Structure 1
Amino acid sequence: MKKTILSIILSFVFCLNTFAAKPKLERIEPMFWWAEMHNPHLQLLVHGQDIALTQVSLSYPGVEIKGITQLDSKNYLFVDLNISKEAKPGFFDIVFKQKKRVVATYRYELKQRGANSAMRDGFNKSDALYLIMPDRFANGDTSNDNIDGMRENHNRKNSLGRHGGDIAGIEQHLDYIINQGYTAIWLNPVLENDMPEQSYHGYAVTDFYQIDRHYGSNEDYKDFAEKAKDQNIKLIMDMIFNHCGAFHWWMNDLPSKDWINNMPEGVDLTKIEYTDAAMEKMDKSAFTITTHRKTVIEDPHVAKSDHDHLVDGWFVPSMPDLNQKNPYVARYLIQNSIWWIEYAHLAGIRMDTYPYPDKEMMAQWNKEVLEAYPNFTIVGEEMFFDPAIVSYWEGKEPNRDGYTPYCPSMMDFPLQGALCQAFTEEEGWENGLMKIYLTLAKDFLYSDPFNLVTFPDNHDLSRYYSVMNKDLDLWKMGIATTLTTRGIPQIFYGTETLMEGFAHDGHGKMRADFPGGWKGDKVNAFTGEGLNKDQIEAQKYIRTILKWRKNCTPILEGKLKHYIPQDGIYLYSRYTDKENVIVILNKNREEKEIDPMKYQEVLKGYTKGKDIFTNQSISIQKTFKVRGKSALILELH
Structure 2
Amino acid sequence: MLNRLFLLIILAIPVLSLAQIERVEPPNWWVGMKTNTLQLLVKNPDIGNATPSITYKGVRILQVHQATSKNYLFIDLEISKDAHPGTFEIVFQSNTGENLTYNYQLLEREVPAENLMGFSSQDAIYLITPDRFANGDYSNDIDISLQEKTINRNDDYARHGGDIQGIINHIDYISDLGFTAVWPSPLLTNNMKSASYHGYAITDFYQVDPRFGTLANYKSLAASLRKKDMKLIMDMVANHCGSNHWWMQDFPFKDWVNQQSNFENKRPINNSNHRRTTNQDPYASKRDKAEFQEGWFVEAMPDLNQRNPFMATYLIQNSIWWIETLHLGGIRQDTYPYPDKDFMADWAGAIITEYPNFSIVGEEWSVNPLLIAYWQTGHKNKDGYESNLKSTMDFAMQKNIVDALNEPEKWDQGLVKIYEGLANDFSYTKPRDIMVFMDNHDMSRIFTQLKQDVTKTQMALGYLLTLPRIPQVYYGTEILMSDHEKPGDHGLIRTDFPGGWADDSINAFTGEGLYKDQKNMQSFLKSILNYRKSSKAITEGKTVHFAPFLGTYFMFRTFKDETVVVILNKNETPITIDLKRYLEIGLTGKTLTNIVSGNQVEWLESMTFNTSGITILSTKK
Give the TM-score of the pair, scaled to structure 2.
Answer: 0.94
Q: What are the equivalent positions in structure 2 for 1:621-636 lying under 5 Å apart?
A: 621-636=604-619
Aligned-residue sequence identity (percent) comes to 45
Counterpart check, 1:126 vs 2:122: yes
What are the Cα deviations for residues 193-233 of structure 1, in whole angstroms up to 9, with x where unaligned? 01000000000000000011100011110111111111111
Hey, what does 2:195 align to over in structure 1? 198
Question: The residue matched to 1:574 in structure 2 has which SS?
Answer: strand
The CA deviation string for residues 171-204 of structure 1, in whole angstroms up to 9 with x for no partner, is: 0111111111111000101011010000000000
Aligned counterpart, 1:389: 371
Aligned twin of 1:619: 602
> Are 1:142 and 2:125 counterparts?
no
Aligned to 2:205: 208
Deviation at 1:119, TM superposition (A): 2.5
**2:510 counterpart residue number:** 527
Structure 2 counterparts to residues 531-550 of structure 1, below 5 A: 531-550=514-533
State the shift of 1:315 in Å: 0.2
Q: Aligned-pair distance for 1:616?
A: 1.9
Distance (whole Å) between structure 2 residues aligned to residue 468 and residue 588 of structure 1: 16
Q: What amino acid sits opposite 1:441 in the alignment?
A: A
Sort the Cα spacing of 1:308 and 1:615 in 2 relative to 1 into closer, same or farther, 3 A: same
Rounded Cα–Cα distance in structure 1 between residues aligned with 2:539 and 2:593: 18
Cα drift, residue 99 of structure 1: 3.0
Question: Structure 2 matches for 1:16-165, cutoff 5 A?
Answer: 25-99=21-95, 101-153=97-149, 154-165=151-162
Kindly state the Cα deviation for residue 25 of structure 1 after the two structures are TM-superposed: 2.8
Q: Secondary structure at the match of 1:200?
A: helix
- Which residue of the other structure, out of 215, 219, 236, is the alignment partner of 1:222? 219
Deviations 1:12-52 (A, max 9, x none): xxxxxx99xxxx73100000000001100100011111110
C-alpha contact (below 8 Å) 1:263/1:287 kept by paired residues: no
What's the counterpart of residue 249 of structure 1?
246
Q: Is the 8 A contact 1:609 1:618 kept in 2?
A: yes
Match of 2:575 in 1: 592
CA drift of 1:592 comes to: 2.2
SS in 1 for 2:510: coil
Distance 1:606 1:263 in 2: 70
Aligned to 2:8: none
Question: What SS does the corresponding residue of 2:565 show, helix, strand or coil?
Answer: strand
Partner of 1:14: none
1:574-630 deviation line (CA, Å, top 9, x unaligned): 112322111110011123222111011223566222111222221112211234221
1:331 and 1:74 map into 2 onto residues whose CA distance is 20
Task: Measure the CA separation in 2 of the matches of 1:402 and 1:317.
Answer: 34
Question: Which of 591-600 and 86-95 deviates more?
Answer: 591-600
Distance 1:429 1:366, change over 3 A: farther
Match of 2:547 among 564, 587, 601: 564
Whether the 8 Å CA contact 2:588–2:603 is kept in 1: the answer is: no
Per the TM alignment, residue 115 of structure 1 is displaced from its structure 2 partner at its CA by 3.6
Shift of 1:399: 1.1
**Letter in structure 2 aligned against 1:148:** I
Specify the alignment match of 1:279 in structure 2.
Answer: none
Name the residue aligned to 1:491. Answer: 473
* Equivalent residues of 1:189, 1:203 under 8 A apart: yes
8 Å contact 2:412–2:548 — kept in the other structure? no
Q: For residues 39 and 255 of structure 1, what CA distance do their matches in structure 2 show?
A: 25
The TM-score with structure 1 as length reference comes to 0.92
Matches within 5 A, 1:164-183: 164-183=161-180
Separation in 1 of the partners of 2:215 and 2:232?
14
Q: Alpha-carbon deviation of 1:504? A: 4.9
Give the AA of the match of 1:52. G
Question: Deviation at 1:264?
Answer: 5.4
The secondary structure found in structure 1 opposite 2:249 is coil
Specify the code of the residue in structure 1 equivalent to 2:315.
L
Distance 1:365 1:265 in 2: 28
The answer (yes or no) to whether the contact 1:586–1:627 under 8 Å persists in 2 is no
Return the offset for 1:261: 0.5
Name which of structure 1's ranges 402-411 and 435-444 shifts more when overlaid on structure 2.
435-444
RMSD of Structure 2 on Structure 1 (CA): 1.8
Q: Take 1:534 and 1:72, find their aligned partners in 2: how far apart are those partners?
A: 61
Contact 2:412 2:549 in 1 (8 A): no
Q: In the TM superposition, what whole-angstrom CA distance separates every residue of 1:461-512 from its partner, at most 9, and x where no partner exists?
A: 1000011111110110001011011101111000011100157552111110
Query: Alpha-carbon deviations, 1:223-271, whole Å to 9, x = none?
Result: 11111111111000000000000000000101111110012536688xx
Alpha-carbon distance in structure 1 between the residues aligned to 2:444 and 2:272: 23
Equivalent-residue separation in structure 2 for 1:601 and 1:402 (angstroms): 40
Q: Partner amino acid for 2:609? A: V
Unaligned runs of 5+ in 1: 1-17, 270-284
Give the length in aligned residue pairs: 602
Question: Over residues 405-458 of structure 1, what are the superposed CA-to-partner deviations in whole Å (9 max), with x where a residue is unaligned?
Answer: 110001111111112111101235784111111111111111111111111100
Helix, strand or coil: the match of 1:423?
helix
Secondary structure at 2:247's aligned position in 1? coil
Letter matched to residue 149 of structure 1:
S
Q: Distance in 2 between matches of 1:430 and 1:632?
A: 18
* Residue 307 (structure 2) aligns with: 325
Q: 2:275 aligns with which of 275, 293, 297?
A: 293
Structure-1 residue corresponding to 2:9? none
